[in-house]
Amino acid sequence: MLSSFANPYCTELALSSGEPQSNRGVRTAAGPMVKWNHVLVSIVPVAAALVAVAGCTWVSFHIAQTSAFAGFLYLVIVVLAALYGGFWQATVVSIAAAACLNYYFVPPVFSFANSPANWAALSAFELTALVISRLSLRAQEQAAQAIEGRRDMERLYETSRRILLLGNSDGLGDLIVSLIQRTFELKGVYLFDATSCTAHQSGDCGPAVEDRTRDAYLCGSDTFDQTARSWYCALRQGSRSLGGMALIGTEMREPAATALASLSGIALERARSLQRESRAEAARQTEQLRAAVLDALAHQIKTPLSVARTASSGLLAVGGLSELQSELVETIDRQARILDHLTGRLLRTARLDSTEFRPRKERLFIAPLLHAAIESLDTEADRKRFAVTVEGPEVPVFADRELILTALAQLADNALKYSEPGSLIELSLATRNRDVTLRVRTRGTVISAADCERVFQRFYRARQTQHLPAGTGLGLSIVKRIAQAHHGMVWAAAEPGFGTSFFLSLPAAGTAAS
């Protein structure tokens, strides 16, 4: 059974791979030899069985045995002929055995006179031949399928072992299809990766393979084309479809084909996971390097900045300067104060990124800290723009006083920079779902939904704020890091036609998160 499809398939591979003409001649010359081998395999069991029938007839007749004894021997020979030959071989043996039984053992002997015993013997022989030949054929098919299944499992194991050795190298899809084609001796392999929208091919796949492979992915089903001897399978990881695969020129069983497709999908997804992990590790190391540079830079700037502020303050205190000189010294002092504020932010950012950072938590209320953050603003005009409301009785939180005050000051400063000049800034404090939530609502810039997530990244500025006064890009990232340190959240929400609101939510004191 195996040779019935293996030999034409091997010939097809030889022709498609450009095998030399001399080798093809060898295969053509070997064709008649294979045919004669099949003829011999069919004739030998019949000849041996007929010889056995003749021998049993001679022995039984010369030792004067009854028809029952001879019939039993004939039945054994028919069983053996059906087992090792087939139904038609056993039929020939059955007719010969029935004729010998009728001629030599059933009265009148040496005569082919018809009798019910003759037809009963022939029917018994034929029924035995039919049953035994069917059982033998089924057993042979099952054995062949078991051998083919074991061979597929061995190939699957070898393929999985080699795919694992590939890692996450570039061009993994091309390596996978080439490996599968070589290992399973296929005419062609086509792989469609839906995640990256790329296709990989090895061997001769034909013109319609791409569409049928995409259909297998979209339908999430596995189909076998008997005419083309091709499998079209969906790449799966669990219940999710990752793409499609076509296996051209194969008679492999469905479990092997689906397992091969799933193995390819898992290999592609594993490679992507390794790449994401590598990128995340690189980003983490970059962030650590950036934090170290910021920390070193802030400390280096701090000393000369303190000297400059001391000198400018001293010049203003001494006096005796002209109006222009006083104005210049005040400008220097004001800019030095801004630089000192920026340096403080850099140091706080570096400290928040430190692995040894631990907030010093205590029970406190947000409203007094909110008023303190507003009072720390530079001008009275800025302080008057804030309107604070507390909804219901205030609930304390378990947090670090200095860090929360820093976060509130950053939110207030951000609201002043990116709202309409002179507009009212609404600060509302409420307790919902055992979380204390602060909302900072401003009129002015409406941030897009995509930027509402990214504005909390370090040094990122939304496109809608490019024309506004430049900031450091650190304020909201510091607020997010402080919220995370307290198991809280911070987010932004745009109000079309009005502005953007920022939210800071902290767990109330006594909750599981605290």
Residues counted in the chain: 514
Range of the domain at 499: 361-507
Residues 243 and 301 in one domain: no
Q: Shortest CA distance to 8 belongs to which of 42, 37, 34?
A: 34
Q: Are residues 134 and 182 in the same domain?
A: no
Is residue 59 located within the same domain as residue 160?
A: no
Tokens 């399928």 -> residue: 145
If asked whether residues 328 and 405 sit together in one domain, one would say no
Residue 310: predicted pLDDT: 80
Local confidence band at 40 (pLDDT 50, 70, 90 cut-offs): low
| Contact present, 218 and 237 (Cβ < 8 Å) | no
- Residue 368: the pLDDT is 92
- Mean pLDDT value across residues 203-209: 85
Tell me what pLDDT residue 2 has: 34
Query: Residue 347: its pLDDT value, please?
Result: 66
Residue 243 covered by a domain: yes
Q: Is 166 helix (H, G, I), strand (E, B) or coil?
A: helix
Residue that terminates a domain, selected from 134, 150, 166: 150
Does pLDDT of 284 surpass 80? no
pLDDT at residue 36 is higher than 50: yes
What is the distance between the alpha carbons of residues 488 and 27, in angstroms, rounded to a whole number?
76
For residues 122 and 47, what is the distance between their CA atoms, to the nearest angstrom? 19
Domain end residue (candidates: 324, 353, 382):
353
**Do 49 and 142 share a domain, yes or no?**
yes
Averaged confidence pLDDT in the chain: 78
Q: Is it the case that residue 243 has pLDDT exceeding 80? A: yes
Same domain, yes or no: 57 and 181: no
Q: Is the pTM of this model over 0.85?
A: no
Contacts of 171 (CB under 8 A, 6+ apart): none
Considering its fold, how many domains does the chain have in total?
4
Pair 446, 315 in one domain = no
pLDDT given for residue 348 in this prediction = 64
- What is the average per-residue pLDDT within 313-317? 78
Q: Would residue 514 count as lying in a domain?
A: no
335 and 379 belong to one structural domain: no
Domain CATH number, residue 365 = 3.30.565.10
Question: Nearest 5°: CA angle at 423, between 430 and 463?
Answer: 90
Residue 298 shares a structural domain with residue 400: no
Identify whether residues 288 and 299 lie together within a single domain: yes
Q: Check whether residue 426 and residue 302 sit in a common domain.
A: no
pLDDT tens digits, 367-418? 999 999 898 887 888 889 999 999 888 889 989 888 898 889 889 988 888 8
Percent of the chain with pLDDT over 70: 78
User: Is 513 among the domain residues?
Assistant: no
Task: Give, as one character, the DSSP assignment of residue 244.
Answer: E
